[in-house]
Amino acid sequence: MKRVLVFLLALFFAIPIQSANAAEVVSITEPTHRLIDGKFFDDVLATKLLPSGDLGDLVFTTSRSNRSWLIDPATISEITAMSNGYGVIDGSTPTGQQIAKDWLTQFYRITKYEKVSAITYGNPAKSWVSKLMPADVEYLNAISKIKLEEYLGKASPGIVTTSTEKQKLSNSIQNTFIFADKQFKLMSTLVDPKEFDLLKLRMAQLLNPQISAGGLTPLYADFQSEFNKVRNQLRVSKSKFTVTSSKQEL
């Protein structure tokens, strides 16, 4: 009986200790709030960065548990852009510059000595990236880690993670992204592949499953416009790229 009592007491005290030592995983990712040229199309991000907001609560709330962080470098990029001053396309007065500065200061402070791993840039659905951008999976993971390390100023250990959720995409969007991916491969054999980094990263952002169907429509149109602009400037002719003013739409 005595042995049973000792065992139960040991089990009782072991459970909370084990829970206390378990690391809390905090994910910071947010669908894009900017057009491809960097302009913000709303000021919602500023509200989310407040201490009471979805993203603010994650960094301003005190936690005694061990934490590890999963960070989307695309989100940090947008917050950094906001902290440097920005405009909103509807002409309204932006409210988030100081809010973004305060958030970044707190974020860097609390993650300085904690494990931080990168989420694939833009937090795209893994299944869509594999289908629509198969040749860029390793590239996206590599650049995500590099960009996060640049923001943090330290190495980023751990495995890069990708969203396992999946949203519905119209056939038109799927076909556009498949076509764009093929064009990137073709043009990359003749010009510096880095010329297409912005568009590739943008594709990844638009594959974030948290973007609503209604929200994706204008973002897709924005991507399509920029892609056509780049494509119209470069045309394959006798294995050389030449400038062209002809209008070539998707």
Tokens 């943090």 locate to 152
95-130: pLDDT as tens digits: 999 999 999 999 999 999 999 999 999 999 999 999
Task: Kindly provide the residue ranges of all beta strands, DSSP E only, lying in the chain, ordered along the sequence.
Answer: 24-28, 67-71, 115-118, 235-237, 240-242
Q: What are the extents of the domains in the chain?
A: 23-242
Cα distance between residue 200 and residue 182, in whole Å: 12
Say how many CA atoms lie within 13 Å of 156 toward its Cβ: 26
Confidence of residue 155 (pLDDT cuts 50, 70, 90): confident
198-212: pLDDT as tens digits: 999 999 999 999 999
Count of residues making up the chain: 250
65-105: pLDDT as tens digits: 888 999 999 999 999 999 999 999 999 999 999 999 999 99
DSSP bridge partners of 119: 161
Q: Locate 57 and state its tokens.
A: 């609560």
Question: Would you say the C-alpha torsion 202, 207, 210, 216 has a positive or negative sign?
Answer: positive
In terms of average pLDDT, the best of 29-38, 129-138, 154-163, 164-173 is 29-38
231 contacts: CB under 8 Å, gap ≥ 6: 183, 248
**Radius of gyration of the chain, Cα coordinates, nearest whole angstrom:** 22
Start-to-end CA span in the chain (Å)? 79
Tell me the backbone φ, ψ of residue 69, rounded to 5 degrees.
-125, 140
Mean pLDDT of 164-183: 92
pTM for the model? 0.83
Q: Locate 38 and state its tokens.
A: 């960097």
With pLDDT > 70 as the criterion, what percentage of the chain qualifies? 84
Secondary structure letter of residue 93 according to DSSP: P
